[in-house]
Amino acid sequence: MNRHFGARRALGIAVASALAVAVTGCGGGDDAGRSGDAAEGAPSPGITDTSVTLGITTPLSGSTAGPGTCTVAGVTAYFGMKNAEGGVEFGDGKTRTVEIEALDDGYDPQQAKANYDQLKDDVFAMTAGLGTPTNRAWRDAAIADEVPQALIMTGDPLFSDTEESPWQLGFVPVYQNEGEAFGELLAASGEDHKVAILSQNDDYGAGYVEGFKSAVEDADNIEIVDELTYEATDTSVDAQITELAASNADVIFNAMSLVPLVVSALQKAQQLNWKPSWFLPSNTSSPGAVLEPGGGAAFPGIYSVSFAKAPASPAFAQDEDVVAYLAALKQYGDYPDPPAFPHCQWSWMVGATLEQAFQNMEEPTRDSFMEALRSIEGFQAPLMLPDTAVDTTQDGQPAVSSVVVQKYNGRGYDTVEAFE
């Protein structure tokens, strides 16, 4: 028995290696740009005189595939539209088409890093990926390899700190900003309020709560009476709502990123006859998907923060930006249904912001790109609400740092200045 072993094991390992080499060798690039090998001034990979390729690693399967698919659809639609018009004019004078290569990471950080490894030698820059752990997994590698990780969909403040993350930039507002915006509104209302908090037990929820608390900590009229969390894998938050209802708070600060749980929370509160004013984050406040099934009209006020126009809102039905966006999404973005998540709109804005950077970059290099990316100021991307703009020049802030607080009016949202 033992005498067969060595030969058989060698065969097995040789087969496995051959398989591995054959399969992965096809996808692997050449040795240019190997870790610790980036040369200055040399043309970066992923860009030629006629085209530039962007890479995305994002969840396209699993529980976060809904928003994940949107993060690809928006930017693909935007550049699909631009390519059809002839391409984007770059700062170095050449007009190029923009290609997108997207890979699925299933919200697994290890897979995200593998996707990055696979893409980094073929693409000019990485962009638009969803998720904090998945983006964090290859952040260090991107810094070491000097690959841009530009305009990603996470509110984690680490990505916008220029010193810590020189090759990164977040797109969406940091979670703290959104929480703070509502906290300031509430504190400025002058009346006494009792606040109950229900947040998701991860950096997302914690960020919102941190921002909210920092805005209300000096306000005498605001008292936080109860604070609970829930897990993203929970099937129901009934128990939490029951306990919070017992606190008789008149405002609930709800940092929840899962649509079904928000709907069921709204429904449960009504069942218990507890009708506080309700705060929801920007990604789970859609009138069609959340407030109507949840019965939002029963509450004295549903507040949210936003920087993007909601395409489903009747107020924007004739808005030309919205019309163009919806058409492009269907035609170029491979997304035939109405956008189910705001990430579709955000990804469209990422496309527009990238176009700005492309128009300003003077050389076809990643260095030049990052410089151009970090110098965009006061840019009103299509679909942005008035009073919000893209500003990438502020250290410590992502591309979008301004949000407005809005209140549900039964069909859509109105921007409000004060808490009513």
Residue 110 near other proteins by CB under 8 A: yes
Residue of 146, 156, 180, 184 interacting with other proteins (CB under 8 A): 156
SS3 224: strand
Q: Which of 141, 225, 324, 416 binds other proteins (CB under 8 A)?
A: 141
Q: Closest distance between other proteins and the C-beta of residue 258, in Å?
A: 9
Question: Of 131 and 148, which has the nearer Cβ to other proteins?
Answer: 131
In whole angstroms, how far apart are CA 259 and each of 236, 277, 281, 352, 418?
Answer: 12, 18, 11, 27, 27
Binder to other proteins among 53, 71, 76, 115 (CB under 8 A)?
Answer: 115
Q: How far apart are CB 60 and other proteins at their closest, in Å?
A: 5
Cα gap 288→70, rounded to integer Å:
17
- Pick the piece of the chain touching other proteins (CB under 8 A) from 111-119, 180-188, 374-382, 395-403: 111-119
> What is the three-class DSSP state of 106?
coil
Alpha-carbon span 351 to 76, nearest angstrom: 8
Closest CB to other proteins among 101 and 367? 101
Selection from 162, 159, 104, 150 nearest residue 123 by Cα: 150
C-alpha 294: how far from chain center: 24
**CA angle 147-149-151, nearest 5°?**
150
Site for other proteins in 182-201 (CB under 8 A): 201
Check the CA dihedral 65-67-68-74 and report its sign: positive
| Residue 27 binding other proteins, by CB under 8 A | yes
Q: What is the C-alpha separation between 31 and 387, in angstroms, rounded? A: 47
Residues 260-299 that bind other proteins (CB under 8 A): 260, 263-264, 267, 270-273, 289, 293
Classify 401 as helix, strand or coil: coil
> Can you tell me which of 54, 55, 81, 108 binds other proteins, judged by CB under 8 A?
108
- Binding to other proteins in span 37-66, by CB under 8 A: 37, 60-63, 65-66
Binding segment for other proteins (CB under 8 A), chosen from 224-232, 297-305, 376-384, 385-393, is 224-232
The site that binds other proteins (CB under 8 A) totals a number of residues, namely: 98
| Residue 4 Cα distances to 1, 11, 12, 16, 136, angstroms | 6, 11, 12, 18, 46
Q: Which range in 33-41, 184-192, 349-357, 385-393 contacts other proteins by CB under 8 A?
A: 33-41
Sheet with 125-127, strands from edge to edge, namely 88-89, 95-104, 51-58, 125-127, 149-152, 168-170
Distance CA 283, CA 267 (A): 19
Residue 242 in the binding site for other proteins (CB under 8 A): yes
166 forms part of the interface with other proteins (CB under 8 A): no
Residue (137 or 185) nearer to other proteins, CB? 137
User: In Å, how far from its chain's centre is CA 411?
Assistant: 25
Decide whether 10 or 323 has the Cβ nearer to other proteins: 10
Establish if 225 lies at the interface with other proteins (CB under 8 A).
Answer: no
**Which part of the chain contacts other proteins (CB under 8 A), choosing from 176-184, 230-238, 377-385, 401-409?**
230-238
Sign of CA dihedral 32, 33, 37, 40: positive
What number of CA atoms fall less than 13 Å from residue 205's CA on the CB side? 18
By CB under 8 A, name the one of 39, 235, 378, 417 that touches other proteins: 235
Among 69, 71, 176, 257, binds other proteins (CB under 8 A): 69
String marking each residue 322-361 x if it binds other proteins according to CB under 8 A: ---------------x--xx--------------------
Which window, 176-184, 232-240, 366-374, 394-402, contacts other proteins (CB under 8 A)? 232-240
Nearer to other proteins, 16 or 188 (CB): 16
Which H, E and C letters describe 324-371, residue by residue? HHHHHHHHCCCCCCCCCCCHHHHHHHHHHHHHHHHHHCCCCCHHHHHH
- The answer to whether 163 contacts other proteins (rule: CB under 8 A) is no
